[in-house]
Amino acid sequence: MWVVGILAVLWNAGGAFDFAATVTHWEPYMKNFTAEQLDFFYTFPMWQYIIWGFATWGAFIGSILLLTRSKLAFWAFAVSLACTLISMAYSLTLTDAPEGTSNPVFTAAVILIAIFLFAYSLWLTRRGILR
């Protein structure tokens, strides 16, 4: 459980950082994108930012809760998974996304990891490890 928990914290910290840097328009991070990509990111509808925030921060908080053996980790991962699926489904329907803003392999990895963490936390809860 510790290995999965630590890897989950590290992976999800990256997502939480990406979200925070994008929402705050943090220049040292955002300078890696083209003007077209920045315009695309900065014009997301508000609901997309909210869903994205719940997806990333829910997973990060869930990872920390997993390390503390709290069964609230399950609920954090459940919210994160639902929001991840909504966010990714919306992203996949966009036809005006600039080149370089979407990577199907990375998208699949994000979804698979979210499913794994949800299922893993459910399994740990049912075994009585998360309390």
pLDDT in tens, 108-125: 999 999 999 999 999 999
pLDDT above 90 covers what percent of the chain?
Answer: 81
Count Cβ neighbours within 10 Å for each residue of 14-50 and write b for 16 or more, e otherwise: ebbeebeebeeeeeeeeeebeeebbebbeebeeeeee
pLDDT tens by residue, 71-99? 999 999 999 999 999 998 888 787 677 87
Separation between Cα atoms, residue 26 and residue 60, nearest integer Å: 20
Amino acid in position 123: W
